[in-house]
Amino acid sequence: MRIVQLASEFAPIAKAGGLGEVVVGLSRELLRLGETVEVIIPKYDFIDVKKLVDIRLDLPDFKCVEHGNPHTNSMWTASCEDIRIHLLEVRHPSGYFHRGEIYGCKDDAARFLYFSKAALTYLKLIEKPIDILHLHDWHVAIAAVLARDQFNLPIKSIVLTIHNGEYQGKCAAWDLDAIGLKGTDYLVKEKLQDTDPKHPKLINLLKGGIVYADAVNTVSPTYTKEILTPEMGYGLESTFYKHKNKLTGILNGLDLQLWDPGYSKTDPIEKILQAKEAGRNRLRRQFSLSNTRRPWVGAITRLAVQKGPELLEEALIQTLRLGGVFLLLGSSPTSQLQAHFEAIGKKYSGTNQLLLHFAYDETLSREIYQALDFLVVPSRYEPCGLTQMIGMHYGTIPIARETGGLKDTIIDCKAEGPQTNANGFLFSKYCKTDLNEALERAIKLFFTHPQKINTLIANGIRKDWSWKHPAQVYLDWYRKQVETSRKSEQISQKVN
Ligand code: ADP
């Protein structure tokens, strides 16, 4: 099969969160399974070309029209992490992909609408048949609409993966005009009109992807059920419900080449514990943290409302109260939350049991995953969540809210001790009481039953978090779509 993926992220060179890792891990495993996989992303100005091998021009100087004006683009190809990728260089007067960042610009909708159209223009120009066009999140969801209504591309099936349904890409009908679609034609309930009755003039790009793609998945079975509810559908629950026959849930894997703790499931627990203690010693030295053996609790997260900042704060306070060390590595899409945590840091200044570090820092994240005893993930919702899986792969026990992919990957250790396969601590309601109950259970077990803690660590490490199984599930899903498209083509040929 020839599978072409359109995405805004590709982890080693352009990553903001889980999406970028998924695109890499899935692609790598599909290649291993013998499929042809190509990924198209924007050629952002910040991409470190040292991470690219064999970069060359694939298609120079082709035009893409926006608001009637042609702009020039070039498609580059390179190998990154042994995966062949295409980098779309956009020469646009607004410097669409020369902003030093992936998201967070006022014109994000216009930037990614343009990217989607230019990527399809390229695919049209090279005219190679595609079995699966795989779209990721709202940024490229419009490609499903463009491929059907504007480009007549030789594609058998279009699939959309929703990594986070809260982000939907809302814009004006005029933004669709820009890329040559008549915006007002799409401003109807059955098409791209936003579901919020207060904003009937808004276009919802993610909705467009759901309506126009042949099949849609989210990144865990539980989240697939949750998005059908008003609480977690963020206005799209009725759209998901209407299209539920094409909806499925496929749990993410972990790219084990990106995440290698240096020990594995075949190593004795003593070796793992030693490596984790060595990791703590490095951080103790670097950040002057307490030398006493205390439970280390922490989080590596975007500081966003979704990630449960109130409960992160509570976990911090309670960990310190219970004699532990708390580490937070937080990158902040809204600096307000960062300011709030900075103020907490000031309140506790002088303690050697707290590290608050506000940055997006992959090297430090690896050190922390290794050093922690417990990783708190108190999300309000979590489509899949990678941090708990990375944590378990590094021998760190998650304490998480029972939602989405957290529910699908963590097996709770009941109060009386670890059950077979138990690998973490879960709490159900989004409230301080429930979080504290789980946190206290974890810390109590740490002090009273270290052997049981070791069992939880071992259960987490022994599980295969790789892409092996999920990629096979994706492949079967793709094959089903191709087969469906073949059958419907046969039927339409007969009718004609
Ligand atoms: P999301 O995509 O919603 O942010 P995921 O759990 O799916 O959440 O993926 C988060 C990824 O981003 C993980 O690889 C995690 O290690 C990484 N990450 C999050 N915050 C930071 C940070 N401040 N520094 C380094 N890596 C981070």
Number of helices (H) and strands (E), helices first, in the chain? 18, 17
Structure tokens at 480: 């089903």
pLDDT tens profile 112-124: 999 999 999 999 9
Average pLDDT over residues 207-234: 98
CA 361 / ligand 1 centre spacing (Å) = 10
Closest CA to 136 of 303, 14, 1: 14
Instruction: List residues near ligand 1 (CB under 6 A).
Output: 17-18, 21, 300-302, 329-331, 360-362, 365, 384-387, 390
Q: Which atom of ligand 1 is nearest to the CA of 252?
A: 7
Structure tokens at 325: 């060390």
Q: Are 235 and 215 in contact (CB under 8 A)?
A: no
Residue 92 has pLDDT above 80, yes or no: yes
Average pLDDT, the chain: 96
Confidence tier at 492 by pLDDT (50, 70, 90): confident
pLDDT at 153: 93
Strands (E), 198-292: 202-204, 215-218, 247-249
Q: Is 268 exposed, middle or buried (0-12, 13-18, 19+ CB in 10 A)?
A: exposed
Average pLDDT over residues 421-434: 97
Structure tokens at 487: 């059958």
> Which residue, judged by its Cα, is nearest atom 22 of ligand 1?
360
Residue 214 has pLDDT above 90, yes or no: yes
Confidence tier at 496 by pLDDT (50, 70, 90): confident
CA 302 / ligand 1 centre spacing (Å) = 6
| Diameter over CA atoms, the chain | 79
pLDDT at 287: 97
> Which residue, judged by its Cα, is nearest atom 20 of ligand 1?
301
Distance, in Å, from the CA atom of 470 to the CA atom of 463, rounded to the nearest integer, reads 14
Q: Which atom of ligand 1 is nearest to the CA of 301?
A: 20
Residue 25 has pLDDT above 90, yes or no: yes
pLDDT at 493: 80
Closest CA to 411 of 401, 421, 396: 421
Confidence tier at 494 by pLDDT (50, 70, 90): confident
CA 300 / ligand 1 centre spacing (Å) = 6
Closest CA to 193 of 180, 216, 210: 210
Q: Is 246 exposed, middle or buried (0-12, 13-18, 19+ CB in 10 A)?
A: middle
- HSE on the CB side for 118, CA within 13 Å? 34
Cα of 37 vs its chain's centroid, Å: 19
Q: Which residues, other chains included, contact 463 with Cβ-Cβ below 8 Å and sequence gap of 6+?
A: 392, 423
Residue 416 has pLDDT above 80, yes or no: no
Average pLDDT over residues 6-35: 96
Distance, in Å, from the CA atom of 120 to the CA atom of 64, rounded to the nearest integer, reads 10
Residue 415 has pLDDT above 80, yes or no: no
> Which residue, judged by its Cα, is nearest atom 24 of ligand 1?
360
Closest CA to 236 of 248, 219, 224, 251: 224
Q: How many other C-beta atoms can be found within 10 angstroms of the C-beta atom of residue 26?
A: 26
pLDDT tens profile 319-351: 999 999 999 999 987 789 999 999 999 999 999
- HSE on the CB side for 325, CA within 13 Å? 21
